[in-house]
Copies of this chain bind each other. A is one copy, B any other.
Amino acid sequence: MSNNPTVHMALLHHPVINKIGDIVSTAVTNLDIHDNARSSRTYGLSSYHIVTPLDAQVELVSRILKHWRDGHGARRVPNRVDAMNLVQVSRSLEEAIETMAAESGLKPYVVATCARRREGTVNYGQMRDTINELAKTHFFLLVFGTGYGLAEAVLNGADAVLDPIGNPEDWNHLSVRSAVAIILDRLFGIRD
């Protein structure tokens, strides 16, 4: 494609909901960092922002990144460095978007994800078309939630919300790591 889109992803630890629908901050999961960084690298994303407002969590992620970029992890698994170099930490979704806009000079197009059925979601073919149409003027930010999913305010504030994967009336409890991989593949993978 002559017109490669600029794509980022963000994994939100706040604001997300818990089992009973309250807004919470979740803890960072080490393997989320690795798996989503590797998926981001595979599909050519520009960055993967881990979003948490908590100082202790920001510090934890920074230590993990150091280990895998410059430390023992980098020496043991050199290919991981490439993936880990895509990871950034932001205090909020807004801060992540500001960073991306400043770096690229493009306008944001925010695409949220949700495992539940809701009104007005778009399918993956529609989103591929939108990305192609807007790729010269916009960057695309795919937003994923931890816990029991993104807070309603994030979903309502997005430019689009993608259809759930699978059949929510049957069972919709994929890991967020698996959902990230599937959605990147549906939007940017080879289709044969």
Contact = CB atoms under 8 A, between A and B. Distances in A.
Interface in A139-192: 163, 165-166, 171-175, 177-182, 185-186, 189, 191-192
User: Oligomeric state, in number of copies?
Assistant: 2
A33 to B, nearest CB: 11
A43 B166 contact: yes
Nearest to A183: B185
Contacts of A34: 175
A166 B125 contact: no
Contacts of A125: 192
Interface in A76-104: 79-80, 82-83
A171 B31 contact: no
A186 to B, nearest CB: 7
A44 to B, nearest CB: 8
B182 A35 contact: no
A123 interface: yes
Identify which of A43, A175, A192 gathers the most chain B CB atoms within 10 Å of its CB: A175
B178 A35 contact: yes
